[in-house]
Amino acid sequence: MERQPVTISLLQAKKRKGEKITMITAYDYPTGVIVDKAGIDIVLVGDSLGMVVLGYDSTVPVTMDEMVHHIKATVRGCKIPLVVGDMPFASYNASVEEAIRNASRLVKEGGCAAVKLEGGQEFAEIVRGIVRSGVPVMGHLGLTPQTATVLGGYKVQGKDAKSAKKIMEDALALQEAGAWAVLLEAVPEELGRIITERLEVPVIGIGAGRYCDGQVLVWHDMMGLFDRFLPKFAKQYARCGEIMTGAVQTFIEEVKSGQFPGPENSFTMKPEEVVKLLQ
């Protein structure tokens, strides 16, 4: 049976049926093609591209122009998955009007089907405004990288009753504001389970335990392409970085030794044409 394009209603139906949702990040056309062929449900063009693609020290420097550029490229490779574009730092917190303008730009110029933004109750009106404008919103709670310094660094959130209750209340507030899903990052498994059970919308976990409606990983983490650090919640499914480095090293050795290019990599002229050339 031919796969149909993934929609928000389809994903919400998966939650009701207890079917797990799969989500992965991608930042360009070839990666989009790969994850599309693999059968992923959701593709997130995350502002994590700032660290794993652009080499920034955090996600904070990522601009709207950079997000639009990478979303456009990824969308070209994704025919079936639902593509979600991240709203970068400072693109939605000044006013509802600015948030709507920037969210609309990611959808109109970038071509994604929905946007994601970080924050809880304090951003409920922002979420409500964006949704009313016609742009679907995925929330992001727990460890929120854009404000990691405020949270004390890249640490597990919601480890005590007070902070866990705050995250729970934030999740409910986002749902009430119209968010179609919530991404929950780096929280205790027990909290991930409770929030998933309480919410009617899908909860996608990354370091939030086994009981979320779905799971997401960063492409460069799972493929071994980012060597600065590997979060505890990430699983490395391949060591592509080592393979690629080895391939380049072999290329260097073969060029230096004269092994490459070989006859099979070269073009030839007919002998009579060579004679004419030399006359």
- In eight-state DSSP terms, residue 108 is I
Q: Mark whether 185 is an active-site residue.
A: yes
What pLDDT, on a 0 to 100 scale, did the predictor assign at position 275? 85
Question: Phi then psi for 86, rounded to 5 degrees?
Answer: -80, 140
What pLDDT, on a 0 to 100 scale, did the predictor assign at position 276? 86
What pLDDT, on a 0 to 100 scale, did the predictor assign at position 23? 98
What pLDDT, on a 0 to 100 scale, did the predictor assign at position 151? 58
What pLDDT, on a 0 to 100 scale, did the predictor assign at position 147? 79
Q: Are 87 and 117 in contact (CB under 8 A)?
A: yes
What pLDDT, on a 0 to 100 scale, did the predictor assign at position 227? 82
pLDDT tens for each residue of 138-165: 999 999 989 766 656 678 999 999 999 9
Q: Are 103 and 84 in contact (CB under 8 A)?
A: no
Q: Are 149 and 174 in contact (CB under 8 A)?
A: no
Residue span(s) of the chain under CATH 3.20.20.60 come to 8-238
Judge if the upstream peptide bond of residue 145 is cis by omega within 30 degrees of 0: no
Query: What's the rounded Cα separation, in Å, for the pair 43 and 22?
Result: 9
Query: What's the rounded Cα separation, in Å, for the pair 53 and 78?
Result: 19
Active-site option among 185, 190, 254, 273 = 185
Contacts of 85 (CB under 8 A, 6+ apart): 45, 67, 71, 106, 107, 110, 112, 114, 115, 116
Closest CA to 50 of 121, 122, 148: 148
What pLDDT, on a 0 to 100 scale, did the predictor assign at position 70? 98
Query: What is the DSSP track for 126-139?
Result: HHHHHHHTT--EEE
* Count of residues making up the chain: 279
In the chain, DSSP assigns E strands to: 21-25, 42-45, 82-86, 114-118, 137-142, 181-185, 203-206, 214-217
What pLDDT, on a 0 to 100 scale, did the predictor assign at position 1? 67
Query: What's the rounded Cα separation, in Å, for the pair 85 and 9?
Result: 18
Q: What angle do CA 227, 138, 176 make, to 5 degrees?
A: 145
167 alpha carbon, distance to own chain's centre? 22
Contacts of 175 (CB under 8 A, 6+ apart): 182, 199, 200, 201
What pLDDT, on a 0 to 100 scale, did the predictor assign at position 268? 92
Q: Which amino acid is it at 49?
A: L
The CATH homologous superfamily for domain 8-238 is Phosphoenolpyruvate-binding domains (3.20.20.60)
From first to last of its 279 residues, the chain has per-residue pLDDT tens of 688 999 999 999 999 999 999 999 999 999 999 999 999 999 999 999 999 999 999 999 999 999 999 999 999 999 999 999 999 999 999 999 999 999 999 999 999 999 999 999 999 999 999 999 999 999 999 999 897 666 566 789 999 999 999 999 999 999 999 999 999 999 999 999 999 999 999 999 999 999 999 999 999 999 999 888 788 889 999 999 999 999 999 999 999 999 999 999 999 989 888 888 898
